[in-house]
Amino acid sequence: MRVKYHKNFIKHYRVRISRHTQLEKKFQERLQDFLSKTHPSSLRNHKLRGNKVNAQSFSITGDIRIIYVYDPDGNVVFIDIGTHAQVY
Q: CA angle, 7 as apex, 4 and 13 as ends, to 5°?
A: 85
Q: pLDDT by residue (tens digit) across 5-33? A: 999 999 999 999 999 999 999 999 999 99
Mean local confidence (pLDDT), 63-83: 96
Q: pLDDT by residue (tens digit) across 38-71? A: 778 889 999 999 999 999 999 999 999 999 999 9
Please name the residue ranges forming H helices in the chain. Answer: 7-16, 21-35, 84-87
What are the structural domains of the chain? 3-87 (3.30.2310.20)
Query: Quick one: pLDDT at residue 41?
Result: 87
Query: Considering the chain, what percentage of its residues have pLDDT values greater than 90?
Result: 88
CA distances from 68 to 18, 21, 27 (A): 19, 23, 14
What SS3 state is found at 76? Answer: strand
pTM of full prediction above 0.85: yes
